[in-house]
Structures are given as C-alpha cells and as structure tokens.
Amino acid sequence: MTIRYPNGKRFKTSTRSKKSVKKSNQITYSNRGMTLEEDINQTNEFYIERGLAVIHKKPTPVQIVDVNYPKRSAAVIKEAYFKQASTTDYNGVYKGYYVDFEAKETKNKTSFPLKNFHDHQILHMKAVLKQKGICFALLRFSISDEVYLLDASYLIDFYENMNQSRKSIRKSDVETLGHQIKIGYQPRIDYLPIIDKIYLAP
C-alpha cells in the first residue's frame, strides 16, 4: 500500500535492522529516549490507567484514493494520503476541564522555530481559549532533552508577531514564560501538576 503526505511525498516506514543501531558509546542522553509523541502517549496511558485524566492523541486523517476489491467481502487499500490535521495533536478531560494541546520538538539549541506551527492550529487554539478551555503547547529541545509547557496565549502572540520581529521563540523566553517539566520514568512527561499549578490553583 502506498501512503502519501499532503505534499505528495511518499510515506516510508523504517527498514533499519537492529544491526544498524548506533553503538552504546555513541548514544547521548538526548537521543537515548523516544520521540516526544511516544513519551506523551505513554504518559497519557499512565494517566488513563490510574484514572487521573482521559487525554488522547487525535488520529491523522487519511484520504483513500485507490482501493482494490479482490473479493466481495474484502477490500485492499492500494494508495492513500495523509491529510493535514485541522486542529492540535491532543485533547481530553482533566478534573472536569477540557484540555487541548500541541506537541512539537526541535534540535535548535537556543530557539524554537515558529514554522513548526500552522495557521489552522493557531486558529483552533484561539477558539479553545475563547471557550475557556485549557490550551497550551509542549515544546521539547531535543539536544538538551528539556520539555516546557507554554500557554497558548503566549504562543499565539509570538506567532502573530512572527513577520514583524523574529521567526522563532528564543529559548530564554520559553524558560521565562513557560514551565519546565522534569523528565521522569512513570509518567515520562508528567504535565498534570503543571496544569494544576497554572490553571487550577485557587
């Protein structure tokens, strides 16, 4: 089956074998772990299993363009495209509050590129804030393995002023305006205490 991204580029699955993995003495702390998405998915599973919150990753919509019907009772998808998602990555409920957030990571050491975000995501975040929902972005600087929670209102301001000033958010601004989440084992990225601190504190 052929699956393509919205720009037409073909989606390829990894074919690396275990033999191609780097030797242990070449692996640093920053690339030893999983991707931000995998870490968040494991964290959300931890929350669900313990009844703390119900937050899921939204599936990426797929447009099917070619289907083969070898039998009346069976269909084989021959070609499909990943459609661009119209909202953010994650949403759910925590303590009766709607939670919605985007997760991004960068290899940049001193700034976070705003090109990682898209107009439709910013518009969605604005709509969530208008409805008094909890909305933010989880930003990972992968080289230093640091993760920050940045409220959507700050992200929106940076994004809307992108053409007038910088095309990225300085890491120093993320450190000042955001809240660092310490990387743990279980849960991996424990962001609920930060939500308690900045959104639900009396």
Residue type, position 162, single letter: M
Give the predicted TM-score (pTM) of the model: 0.74
> How far apart, in whole angstroms, are the C-alpha atoms of residue 150 and residue 199?
12
CB contact set of 133 (below 8 Å; sequence gap of 6+):
97, 98, 99, 100
Residue range 47-61: mean pLDDT, rounded: 88
The answer to whether residues 150 and 173 touch, using CB atoms and an 8 Å cutoff, is no
* DSSP assigned state of 12: -
- For the chain, the domains span 2-198
- Is 192's pLDDT higher than 80? yes
CA distances from 188 to 37, 43, 180 (A): 11, 6, 13
**Token digits of residue 14:** 């990894």
Distance CA 28, CA 34 (A): 13
pLDDT at position 138: 98
Q: Give the H or E element holding residue 130.
A: helix 119-130
pLDDT tens figures, 87-141: 798 999 999 999 999 999 999 999 999 999 999 999 999 999 999 999 999 999 9
What distance in Å separates the CA atoms of residue 61 and residue 81, rounded to the nearest whole number? 9
Q: Is domain 2-198 classified as CATH 3.20.20.70?
A: no
Label residue 70 by pLDDT band (50, 70, 90).
confident
| Gap between the Cα atoms of 4 and 11, Å rounded | 5
Residue 202 has pLDDT above 80, yes or no: yes
